[in-house]
Amino acid sequence: MKGISPIVSTVLLILVTLVISTLFFLWYSSFEKKIRSEIERRAEEEVGRFAYKISVETVFCNTSSKEVKIFIRNVGEKEIPTGQAYVYIYDENMQLLYSSPEDFEELPPDNVRVLNITWNGLAPNSHYYVKVTVPKYPEGDVGDCET
């Protein structure tokens, strides 16, 4: 009984090695493509976070009219779309006293909008912190007022 000749065994070994290498290369290419697209998506998200940004410029609290006026400016690079602004009012101990969505029109870059809120919880001689978040910028910004 004869065995496989050294030439045939060498050719078979080379073919098996090529097939395994090709399969590994195909797997690695698809894996690398998925990783790259995920990194690009996350990078775009991070860049987008800076493109949409607001600043709470001024907050006026009037105890007699129970009105809170919040002036917000778009300090980002892109227009903030129409949606709802969320307003949170905290006392000086950072306890949440008021939370409500408010209708919000689009806000072009470097423009100011005023949010008018009527809140019966305003008390004289008090300090309040007001946080506003808007579509595309959930981090928001904080201002404060004294009555």
In sequence order, what are the beta bridge partners of 140?
A: none
What pLDDT tens digit does each residue of the chain (147 aa) get? 566 788 888 888 999 999 999 999 999 999 999 999 999 888 877 776 677 888 999 999 998 899 999 999 988 888 888 887 889 999 999 999 998 888 878 889 999 989 898 888 888 899 999 999 887 778 888 999 888
Q: Which CATH class is domain 53-146?
A: mainly beta
Eight-state DSSP code of residue 49? H
Cβ atoms of 21 and 107 within 8 Å: the answer is: no
The whole-angstrom separation of Cα 94 and Cα 56 is 17
Domain residue extents for the chain: 1-51, 53-146
Other beta carbons within 10 Å of 31: 10
CA 120 centroid distance within chain: 32
pTM (two decimals): 0.66
Other beta carbons within 10 Å of 112: 13
The whole-angstrom separation of Cα 56 and Cα 71 is 6
